[in-house]
Amino acid sequence: MRYFDHNATTPVAPEVADVYAAALRGVPGNASSSHRAGQDARKQLEQSRLSIARVLNCAAQELVFTSGGTESNNLAIFGIACGDRSSRRHVVTTAMEHPAVLEPVRQLAREGCDVSFTGSLTGEIDAAIREETVLVSVMHANNETGAIQRIGEIAEVVRARRAAGQKIYLHSDGVQAFGKIPVDLERLGVDLYSISAHKIYGPKGIGALFVRKDTPIRAIQFGGRHERGRRPGTESVPGVMAFACACKLLAEYPAHELGALRDRFERQLLETLDDIEINAHTEDRLPNTSNVLFRGISGETMLIALDTAGFAVSTGSACSSGSIEPSHVLLAMGRSAAEARSSVRFSFGRSNTLHDVDQLADAVVGIVRRLRKSRERRPQLAAY
């Protein structure tokens, strides 16, 4: 199986797996225990926290370890919105967010919070902010199309509002961005930022939420004073150590080099096939992500055919697998339901080579031609 679904998850790097296995055997203590084994676990936990913080350019105390991106997003959204005791609360987000943001925001709406869904342009978000807005949540890079949002500009808008006396904060789901484009949290200017280990060749089940100093976030789970009272539960020290290892490896495998693979793949398709289009074909796009519209062909049929041929790809968010609904991201971009259902996502990673890409392109071209020829041969029902 040749794997081209790295936006869904990445294979665990061998170096990370080694660290994880060694920690499972060699660091058995609870980081909250006062004995030697516990204090050794605490030392490893904090050293790993500092290592990850250095990669993100933030203070170690500003990182809260979670089970992954979904929990980080929930903690950021509910932690800010529910921490504000005012009777009038308003949240602004975009229509193209991951379900891990959309569903918590919709739950807030069910609980009486006012919510605005808008486009991702800075001006659209600025226009949606009101006096009672407490949170703006905009993803850094889209998981389906790879489109990169101008988070720095949005942060300036939010900071200007806060400087004028409004209690408003900016959260960004950085799960897809971190590891694929440079992320400097000090320069980015966000107040909260979500990341996950399994998107950067680390293990599943471990992530983090950056909470800038003096951001008044409220815990949404209860049962302990772990993570400075922001997230209870015994920390996964082996998971955090593996996460730190995955972060260190980012410098050795620059993701921008994947752009050559993506560009080669898209060029071969565009030069060979008619009636196809790249969704979100802009310069502000993740270097590893290609979302292609094959007009007149079912994306699910394409996925199955490629899987049979030995290629793993996706029609969109892995968290929406099994859904028969067209991609909400592509619909928000203006694609029709039929076009959204005819789109396939290809996301490249470290293990992919130019030879792999050429084989993938050949397979896609062959499948598209076969499916279109089969459609042409299909008998048409007479009109009555």
Give catalytic residue positions.
319
How far is 101 from 307, CA to CA, in rounded Å? 30
- Answer for the pair 67, 239: CB distance below 8 angstroms, yes or no: no
Angle between helices 354-377 and 258-272 (to 10 degrees): 30
Which tokens sit at 365?
């071209």
Burial class (CB in 10 A: 0-12, 13-18, 19+), 312: middle
- Could you tell me the two tokens for 4? 């081209």
Give the span between the Cα atoms of 332 and 127, in whole angstroms.
18
324, 366, 330, 361: which is closest to 346 by C-alpha? 361
* CB-CB neighbours of 292 under 10 Å: 24
